[in-house]
Structure 1
Amino acid sequence: MANKKPLSASALLNAKKRAVFRFIGLQLALIFLLSLGIFVVYGGLYAYSFLAGALASVLPSLYMAWRVFGHAGTRAAKDVVRSFYRGEAGKLVLTALLLTAVFIFIKPLAAGALFAGFGIAILSHWLSPLLLKY
């Protein structure tokens, strides 16, 4: 068995960054495929309602990932913590704004499909430990 050389802090951060953005890409692919399946089985109203709900969850996650990992190079621990707090605050605000915009601007809307999409996108985070460790 070959000895593995430990990763440097920079290499580890880059690996985590790639894994997080890859996971978000997988989330997007999953919700688009599910939306397509819903379109075929139930029709357009349910498909775009599901997609709107799922995107209202995934897009803020993408913002959070960009906020945390969007900086190049090494930063002070204080700056990293600040990025997490700002990213999480922005994620919460963006989620509220997106859901509000969906309810105001998208008519007609199947609320059950919207919340199903939102919930499935959130529950897909449970898969992240399996996907992020590779």
Structure 2
Amino acid sequence: MNIRNRTPLHRQPVFRVLQMQLLVTLITAIVCASVFGIVAGYSGLIGGLIAFTANLYFALKAFRYFGARSAGAIVRSLWSGEMGKQILTAVLFALVFVGVKPLEPVALFAGYLLVLGIGASALLLMKKNLRH
């Protein structure tokens, strides 16, 4: 028996990570725009939004179930969430490279990688939530 997680996303620990990813996306866009120009600014913003959108999809998909009785459903939802995240990332990058002109690839990948770094340090961000 699969137990559906009815907790809204904004009440789950992953929400703090998503908030930090959006904040880093905006900061990256502002810094790139002020230092390197407007093209670098929106390129950094797009890169961050690609990572954020893919991670949001993963969070919505992966945290659908909870409890020991739902172990199989949890594994399936994590796997499908990760595969969907990878496909979504590839599609979004392809759309950006085809549709956005002019584009600053260095800023695009910098925004993407900075937001991925927030996801990689998620345990540090969530550690504070576990103490309360």
Structure-1 residue corresponding to 2:12? 18
Structure-2 residue corresponding to 1:67? 61
Structure-1 residue corresponding to 2:98? 104
Q: What aligned pairs does 1:1-134 form with structure 2 within 5 A after superposition? A: 18-70=12-64, 76-134=70-128
State the 1:119 CA deviation: 1.4
Amino acid at match of 2:89: T
Amino acid at match of 1:68: A
Quote the Cα distance in structure 2 between the aligned partners of 1:30 and 1:112: 16
Unpaired stretches in structure 1, ≥5 consecutive residues: 1-12
State the 1:58 CA deviation: 1.6
CA deviations on 1:5-38 (whole Å, 9 max, x unpaired) are xxxxxxxx98xx6221111111101211221122
Unpaired stretches in structure 2, ≥5 consecutive residues: 1-6
Q: TM-score, normalised by structure 2?
A: 0.81
Aligned residues: 120
For the residue of structure 1 that corresponds to 2:103, the secondary structure is coil
Amino acid at match of 1:84: L
Structure index of larger Rg = 1
Identity between Structure 1 and Structure 2 (%):
35
State the 1:127 CA deviation: 2.3
CA deviations on 1:84-127 (whole Å, 9 max, x unpaired) are 01101100000000100110111000111111111111122232
